[in-house]
Amino acid sequence: MTSVSLPDPVVRRARPPQVDARELERALRERVGGEVRFDAGSRGAYSTDASNYRQVPIGVVVPHGVEEAAAAIAVCREHGAPVVSRGGGTSLAGQACNVAVVIDWSKYCHNLVSVDPAARTCVVEPGIVLDELNAQLTAHRLMFGPKPATHDHCTLGGMIGNNSCGATAQAYGKTVDNLVRLEVLTADGVRFWAGPTSGEEYEAIVAAGGRRAGIYRALRELSHAYAGQIRERYPQIPRRVSGYNLDSLLPEQGFDVARALTGSESTLVTILHAELRLVPKPAAQALVVLGYPDIASAADAAPSIAPHRPEQLEGLDDRLITFERERRMNPEALRLLPEGNGWLMVIFSGDSQDEADAKARALIDELHGSEHEPTVRFYDDPEHEAELADVREVALGATARVPDMPDTWEGWEDSAVPPDRLGDYLRDLAKLYDEFGYSGSALYGHFGQGCVHTRIPFDLISSEGIGTFRRFIERAADLVVSYGGSFSGEHGDGQSRGELLGKMFGDELVRAFGQVKAIFDPDNLMNPGKVVAPYRLDENLRLGAGWAPRDYDSHFSYPDDDGRFERAVMRCVGVGKCRHSSGGVMCPSYMVTREEEHSTRGRSRLLFEMLEGHADSPVTAGWRSTEVRDALDLCLACKGCKKDCPVEVDMATMKAEFLAHHYAGRLRPRAHYSMGWLPAVAQVAARAPRLVNALTQAPILRDVLTTAGGIDRRRRIPLFAGQTLQAWAARHDPGTSGLRGEVVLWPDTFTNHLAPSIGQAAVEVLEAAGWRVIVPTQPLCCGLTWISTGQLATARRVLQRTVGALAPHLQRGAKVVGLEPSCTAVFRSDARELMPGDRDVQRLRQQTVTLAELLTDHTDGWQPPHLGGQAIAQTHCHQHAIMGYDADQALLRAAGVDLDVLDAGCCGLAGNFGFEAGHYDVSRACGERVLLPAVREAAPDTLVLADGFSCRTQIEQGGTGRTPVHLAEVLAAGLRNQPVRPSRPAAPAAADYARLAAVAAGAAGLGTGLGAVARWRIHRG
Ligand SMILES: Cc1cc2nc3c(=O)[nH]c(=O)nc-3n(C[C@H](O)[C@H](O)[C@H](O)COP(=O)(O)OP(=O)(O)OC[C@H]3O[C@@H](n4cnc5c(N)ncnc54)[C@H](O)[C@@H]3O)c2cc1C
Ligand code: SF4
Ligand code: SF4
């Protein structure tokens, strides 16, 4: 073999790259077909990942395909611009953010290119999300084995970039163990498929000459030069993810260049395609949960369970459970845990339920009567298994923002040691926590493989706190080395751990890492400053000692964020759950656009940049920022994030706050007037509803009015009812004394003016249940439409008036029944944030209930009428977020209804959102995801239930041919033993249009007359 001299290692850049961003942008636009974004908003949205670090990128490229990405990398090289690839951006060590051009693979490059079921392999593009891949592989009963907790939004490119693992790595190994080949591209344009390289292949590659031959020769030389060190210093543990995989280059490992590149975090090459090894998808699972006196004892027990070959062997401690309990997360599942203060969750899989159960029972039998016998629970139904899996999967979010506790952070969140030493390591780690004042941090992780996760209450905003953070990390690193472990067990090194690698591998191997970098990326253009030649672990912090955010006054009181808008903005920890593509409500705008900027996280990032805590923030105009406005424009204010985000980011509230300041003292979009003031408009319309309907529905006038009102012309303006609920109620004779006492039926604008028959049905049901129903008769409103359009001063005034009117009833203890979920949610949630400290507002919050809640929880002995039949139900997004749908389900099931609650998320109309010009396509796309097809497919005799006016309107205007009904209507019809026949305002008749024409003519005549008088007066002087 000819010997090759190895290059000098890449060293750290003295300063960030000097790139002419304008020229680069121009060249990218010219030569790359994809989306090229160098605007402040895009740069702000991609400035961090899920880590403690923040670096504002030079620009972002969203390629439409792999070839465009390759072209973009070529342009970057010509301009000396670094690049960093990005999938879901869920990295926890800072490896997915940089002062570089970000290539976002996730929006378009997510194809499953081919599957070979016989060979159990497939080829994918890097942006494909793991769950989406596995869903496509279901037809072949195959799946990709490793499964990080972020499986519904992490991408294969990111998994390969980080060498991800997750709980199932216990059975299937790390990502590196499940790869066949990678197609890679170097920064200087060499593109090839890499994999295990036989002697013959190596010779052929070298004989072909060129840059690829140079890379292979140098790698071969490097593997020889460092073979002794690699064999000696690489920890032989299941979860060594830190450092480059130089061990894969050893002859005994088949000189596998693909494996060597796995986990290189975008610092060596860009992955263009990956050929993956697949495993059979298990048909069944069984779960055994074991309780121990503490988490270290649980860790001690794990090695004795591993020989039973479970698919997953996870550990979790009592602090995690306490945090979840305090935050009311997974309440049902927490009750399923056996007694203990530390637990192991052991999942067995099999080709049949019997097989999985048999494995579980064998473990239980073995443990029975053993010296340290744990408490045991056994589950073999998918529902309980999924609930308990969630307890573990939400751990990071659950431990990030615990009320009355300091915020916790990543940084030492992913160490791994030999599994048989994990218990002792945890005991020593706990001592270290105590020494540094970090006690109370939760511990959990993949105990079967010795990997432990935690979040620690580091102070990352004072220089003293950051000094302590550094000292702790250095000590923790020494501790792991003393156990023969790895700093990272699956999350990678990035910036958090790059600096520490010398402690683990020694200086010689760190030099080898630098040389590998020089072999692939001599100009240091690939994700510079991460893993090798790294930034310090305490620089580029998302917060940092120099962080000085602007102090913003706010309209809302943010009671769960110490009353500070800035704390509310900082809730987002970057987990990226808001980037999943199905299930739950969060985040409809991401689901249909697949745009970071239109996810909850992207919006949070831009609001964070708006705080201007850093001198290089791309967002500089504060509340007047157009970047933030544009990112919030497609937020449906559905409140999905308030419920579904693990740290309860409430973007709807922050959007309202932003709009209030952004438009303060300025003209607002027309829709804010036409729809924000809907309750006032409705009051006027109630004087001549048929005339108003004729006006809004007449062919040409309709277009004029929608345009003037900022409403999309494809929307039909809803019809006003001939008689409001309040007018009807004023004349209604209850015919009963209402023995149960009084309830106030809230006459929200939608029910009162647009669907009063629903209110009438509710009165009928409530009276039949024994209640005396009060319907306030004065014009009142909850302020919702002013809140959603950010007219918060008006909203507060409106709410004040309402609270004043309801106060006597509230003080007597009366319940307020809400029929429209969004208005009910204002009373239950927004009101206290707009009017904190007001006792009547507190009463309103506590005493407001949905119809179903009143009937199930506060009406003793009441039984619903038997309804039977089938129904599908669309839960309003605000109901999902604030009140929940449990009471409705219980009630309908008690009425014998075969109910299917759709997992459809927000209907897409979301109050004013779907009506506003410019939102129609997104609104409709949200509806078409699940809801509208489900309604179209429903059998004619299946009831379509939707309590929200928006949801009903979306269904009616969505080409379904169905008129959805409210729960009140269904119950009332049941009481009458009649089929449900919803009554809705009628479209204008010819006579209404004739009247309108007459009024118009009269007005025109009056105008002419007034004009003549005016001219006469002017003439006379
Ligand atoms: C709440 C939470 C739980 C987590 N749980 C787990 C877990 O159980 N197991 C686990 O292993 N990890 C876990 N992680 C870490 C992370 O989710 C995984 O590493 C995940 O696989 C990263 O995927 P991504 O698409 O988000 O990658 P990104 O963060 O976007 O990227 C990851 C790395 O890969 C690089 N990269 C992306 N695409 C390419 C490409 N085409 N070419 C070259 N490099 C590329 C990026 O530059 C980056 O360095 C968790 C993270 C969070 C926030
Ligand atoms: S908004 Fe919530 S779900 Fe989305 S990234 Fe932030 S913390 Fe995660
Ligand atoms: S309110 Fe809805 S649309 Fe807006 S960020 Fe939250 S989940 Fe997304």
How confident is the model over 25-39, as pLDDT tens digits? 999 999 998 799 999
Average pLDDT of the chain, as a whole number: 95
pLDDT in tens, 280-307: 999 999 999 999 999 999 999 999 999 9
Residue 397 to residue 453: CA distance in whole angstroms: 12
Ligand 2 atom 8: residue of nearest CA = 575
pLDDT in tens, 470-527: 999 999 999 999 999 999 999 999 999 999 999 999 999 999 999 999 999 999 999 9
Q: How open is the CA angle 513-518-521, to the nearest 5 degrees?
A: 115
pLDDT at 317 over 80: yes
Q: Is 165 in the pocket of ligand 1 (CB under 6 A)?
A: yes
pLDDT in tens, 833-876: 999 999 999 999 999 999 999 999 999 999 999 999 999 999 99
- Across 426-453, average pLDDT: 96
Query: What distance in angstroms lies between residue 575's CA and the mean position of ligand 2's atoms?
Result: 5
Ligand 1 atom 3: residue of nearest CA = 149
Would residue 168 be called left, alpha or beta, if left means φ above 0 and alpha means ψ between -120 and 50 degrees? alpha
**Sign of dihedral through CA atoms 349, 390, 929, 89?**
negative
Q: Is 408 in the pocket of ligand 3 (CB under 6 A)?
A: no
**Spatial contact of 316 and 401, defined as CB atoms under 8 Å apart:** no
Q: Specify the pLDDT at position 737.
A: 82
Q: In residues, how long is the chain? A: 1021
Query: What distance in angstroms lies between residue 299's CA and the mean position of ligand 1's atoms?
Result: 26
Query: What distance in angstroms lies between residue 549's CA and the mean position of ligand 3's atoms?
Result: 24
Residue 165 to residue 173: CA distance in whole angstroms: 7
pLDDT in tens, 241-274: 999 999 999 999 999 999 999 999 999 999 999 9
| Beta strand 121-124 pairing with 112-116 | antiparallel
Query: What distance in angstroms lies between residue 585's CA and the mean position of ligand 2's atoms?
Result: 13
DSSP string, 599-639: SHHHHHHHHHHHTT-STT-S--SGGG-HHHHHHHHT-----
Residue 711, beta-bridge partner list: 916
Residue 288, beta-bridge partner list: 346, 378
Q: Is 850 in the pocket of ligand 1 (CB under 6 A)?
A: no
Ligand 2 atom 7: residue of nearest CA = 572
Q: Is 651 in the pocket of ligand 3 (CB under 6 A)?
A: yes
Residue 185 to residue 193: CA distance in whole angstroms: 9
Residue 54, beta-bridge partner list: 48
- Probe residue for ligand 2, chosen from 570, 597, 641, 648 as the CB with the greatest number of ligand atoms within 8 Å: 641
**995 — pLDDT class (breaks 50, 70, 90):** confident
Query: What distance in angstroms lies between residue 396's CA and the mean position of ligand 1's atoms?
Result: 15
**Residue 877 CA, closest ligand 3 atom number:** 2
Residue 433 to residue 615: CA distance in whole angstroms: 33
3-state DSSP call for residue 84?
strand
3-state DSSP call for residue 268?
coil
Report the candidate in 262, 272, 266, 273 with the shortest Cα–Cα distance to residue 101.
Answer: 266
pLDDT at 736 over 90: no
Q: Is 592 in the pocket of ligand 3 (CB under 6 A)?
A: no
Choice among 7-11, 647-651, 863-867, 963-967 with the minimum mean pLDDT:
7-11
Query: What distance in angstroms lies between residue 160's CA and the mean position of ligand 1's atoms?
Result: 8
Report the candidate in 300, 307, 438 with the shortest Cα–Cα distance to residue 362.
Answer: 307
Ligand 1 atom 11: residue of nearest CA = 164
List Cβ neighbours of 744 (8 Å cut-off, separation of 6 or more). Answer: 773, 774, 775, 776, 806, 809, 814, 815, 816, 817
pLDDT in tens, 786-807: 999 999 999 999 999 999 999 9
Q: Is residue 782 reached through a cis peptide bond, with omega within 30 degrees of 0 on the bond before it? A: no
- Across 55-65, average pLDDT: 97
Query: What distance in angstroms lies between residue 49's CA and the mean position of ligand 1's atoms?
Result: 9
Q: Specify the pLDDT at position 1020.
A: 47
Burial (CB count <10 Å: 0-12, 13-18, 19+), residue 677: middle
List Cβ neighbours of 51 (8 Å cut-off, separation of 6 or more). Answer: 91, 92, 93, 94, 95, 96, 97, 410, 494, 495, 496, 542, 574
- Across 81-101, average pLDDT: 98
**Residue 272 CA, closest ligand 1 atom number:** 41
Q: Is 689 in the pocket of ligand 1 (CB under 6 A)?
A: no
**Spatial contact of 194 and 182, defined as CB atoms under 8 Å apart:** yes
**1015 — pLDDT class (breaks 50, 70, 90):** low
Q: How far is CA 215 from CA 219, 447, 925, in A?
A: 6, 38, 48
Q: How far is CA 952 from CA 588, 634, 710, 927, 932, in A?
A: 18, 21, 22, 11, 11
Residue 937 to residue 572: CA distance in whole angstroms: 38
Query: What distance in angstroms lies between residue 164's CA and the mean position of ligand 1's atoms?
Result: 7
pLDDT at 1016 over 60: no
Q: Specify the pLDDT at position 372.
A: 81
Q: Is 240 in the pocket of ligand 3 (CB under 6 A)?
A: no
| Beta strand 312-317 pairing with 443-446 | antiparallel
- Probe residue for ligand 2, chosen from 561, 590, 645 as the CB with the greatest number of ligand atoms within 8 Å: 645
Ligand 2 pocket (Cβ < 6 Å) reads 572-578, 600-601, 604, 641, 645-647, 649
pLDDT at 14 over 90: no
Q: Is 600 in the pocket of ligand 3 (CB under 6 A)?
A: yes
Query: What distance in angstroms lies between residue 159's CA and the mean position of ligand 1's atoms?
Result: 5
pLDDT in tens, 742-784: 999 999 999 999 999 999 999 999 999 999 999 999 999 999 9
Q: Is 636 in the pocket of ligand 3 (CB under 6 A)?
A: yes
Residue 706 to residue 344: CA distance in whole angstroms: 60
pLDDT in tens, 366-401: 999 888 899 999 999 999 999 999 998 888 888 888
Choice among 94-108, 193-207, 326-340, 423-437 with the minimum mean pLDDT:
326-340
List Cβ neighbours of 843 (8 Å cut-off, separation of 6 or more). Answer: 807, 810, 811
Residue 850 to residue 522: CA distance in whole angstroms: 65
List Cβ neighbours of 881 (8 Å cut-off, separation of 6 or more). Answer: 585, 638, 639, 640, 642, 643, 825
Q: How far is CA 309 from CA 28, 545, 728, 804, in A?
A: 51, 48, 69, 65
pTM for this one? 0.95
**Spatial contact of 415 and 446, defined as CB atoms under 8 Å apart:** no
Q: Is 638 in the pocket of ligand 3 (CB under 6 A)?
A: yes
Tell me the ligand closest to 605's alpha carbon.
2
3-state DSSP call for residue 43?
helix
- Across 813-818, average pLDDT: 98
The two tokens of residue 680 are: 């006032």
Element spanning 181, H or E:
strand 179-185
Residue 537 to residue 93: CA distance in whole angstroms: 9
Residue 882, phi then psi, degrees to nearest 5: -110, -55
The two tokens of residue 202 are: 């190596």
Residue 708 to residue 710: CA distance in whole angstroms: 6
Q: Is 765 in the pocket of ligand 3 (CB under 6 A)?
A: no
Range list of β-strands (E), 436-550 = 443-446, 451-454
Q: In the 8-state DSSP scheme, what is residue 176?
A: G
Query: What distance in angstroms lies between residue 90's CA and the mean position of ligand 1's atoms?
Result: 5
The 10 Å Cβ neighbour count of residue 938 is 18
Ligand 3 atom 5: residue of nearest CA = 600
**234 — pLDDT class (breaks 50, 70, 90):** very high
**Spatial contact of 352 and 286, defined as CB atoms under 8 Å apart:** no
DSSP string, 93-144: SSTT--SSEEEE-TTT---EEEEETTTTEEEE-TT-BHHHHHHHHGGGTEE-
**735 — pLDDT class (breaks 50, 70, 90):** confident
Residue 823 to residue 829: CA distance in whole angstroms: 10
Hey, what's the torsion of the CAs at 454, 457, 462, 467, to 10 degrees? -50
**Residue 50 CA, closest ligand 1 atom number:** 53
Q: How far is CA 726 from CA 461, 730, 970, in A?
A: 55, 6, 21
- Across 586-609, average pLDDT: 98
- Across 68-82, average pLDDT: 97
Q: Which amino acid would we find at residue 150? A: T
DSSP string, 351-419: SSHHHHHHHHHHHHHHHTT-TTPPEEEEE-SHHHHHHHHHHHHTHHHHHHS-TTS---B-SS--EE--G
- Across 79-89, average pLDDT: 98
